[in-house]
Amino acid sequence: MIEPRARPVRRLPVRRDWPSSLIALVQVGLLVGLVLAWELGARFGVIDPFFWSMPSAIFQTGVIFFTQGDAFTDIAFTFRSTLLGFFIGTTMGSLLGMSFWWSRNYARIMQPYIICLESLPKLALAPLIILVFGMGLSSKVAIATALTLVVSTLTSYAGVQAVDKDQERLFYSLGASRWQVFTKLVMPACIPWIISILRVNIGLALTGAIVGEFVSSQHGLGRTILYAGQTYEIPLVWVAVFVLSALSMVMYVSVAYLEKFLRKGIVH
């Protein structure tokens, strides 16, 4: 006979949460360690300083970029094209997606085109867009718009399709017109869907703007990165990348805040 093995007696695992101050300390420590390792590694030849540069050189270049260089012009340029593309793409896409509610035939006719647009690598069109819209701001806005428009269209159309059919029937039972159903039911019901893509769209818009600057531009952080890379000014590449990350984070956090604000105000 096989003796049943004694079952181990266990307790519920205890969760030990470190205090936030300790977490922050470790985070800062990691960062300092990383920067230090980079600096020392470059100084003692463990990594090639020509390609990787080093934090002290990057810092010096950064100071020059902000005091004597085009830092603010570049930031403003990239920021403007991103925001414009974000607003135009999101608004137009949402309206287009919601317009499909009006006619199922129209929605069915448009469907293959939308799918085609979605699968198309829109960044591949960037050189063409630059040709059409020129080297200035409008071509960057156009690329950012192209990236955000399709996502917004598809998402708000998904919102339209998710509108509760019974709720629609309730509106009609109250004697509502199509316009009333659209403005009082379909549009409010789609708002949470649109809010949910704001964060994705701000990232896409920034990508679009940067790619536009890569292809051809006279300003912008993307142009600075490309230009510095071509002339082997590696510290400047790093400076521009860090500034770009900071800009991206600021916009992301703002949109996340906007999203929270909208959700509280409109969605319950």
Partner 1 sequence: MSSQPKLVLENVSMTFQTDGQPFTALAPVDLQIPANKFISLIGPSGCGKSTIFNIVAGLQPPTTGRVLIDGEDATGLIGRVGYMLQKDLLLPWRTVLDNVALGMEIRGVKMKDARERAMPLLAKYGLGGFEHRYPSSLSGGMRQRAALLRTLLVDQDVVLLDEPFGALDAQTKGRMQEWLLQLFNDFGRTVVFVTHDVEEAIFLSDEIYVMASRPGRLVEKLPIDLPRPRDRSVVSSPRFVAMKKYCLDLLHMDKPASEAA
- The residues that touch partner 1, with contacts defined as CB under 8 A, are 164, 166-167, 169-176, 180, 184-185, 188, 191, 266-268
* Closest distance of CB 259 from partner 1, Å: 16
- 3-state DSSP helix/strand/coil percent for the chain, to nearest 5? 80, 0, 20
Nearer to partner 1, 167 or 245 (CB): 167
Instruction: Provide the H-helix boundaries in 4-134.
Output: 20-43, 49-52, 55-67, 71-99, 104-119, 126-133
Nearer to partner 1, 172 or 242 (CB): 172
Nearer to partner 1, 169 or 260 (CB): 169
Torsion angle (degrees, nearest 10) of CA 151, 153, 154, 157: 150
Nearer to partner 1, 159 or 208 (CB): 159
d(C-alpha 95, C-alpha 186), whole Å: 11
Contact 126, 211 (CB under 8 A): yes
* Closest distance of CB 235 from partner 1, Å: 52
* Closest distance of CB 264 from partner 1, Å: 12
Contact 97, 159 (CB under 8 A): yes
- Which candidate, 79, 71, 78, 150, places its Cα nearest to that of 114? 150
Determine how many CB atoms are found less than 10 A away from the CB of residue 219: 21
- Which two three-digit tokens encode residue 98? 């919601």
Nearer to partner 1, 190 or 243 (CB): 190
Nearer to partner 1, 119 or 173 (CB): 173
Nearer to partner 1, 149 or 185 (CB): 185
* Closest distance of CB 160 from partner 1, Å: 16
d(C-alpha 98, C-alpha 47), whole Å: 54
Contact 74, 248 (CB under 8 A): no
* Closest distance of CB 268 from partner 1, Å: 4
* Closest distance of CB 231 from partner 1, Å: 55
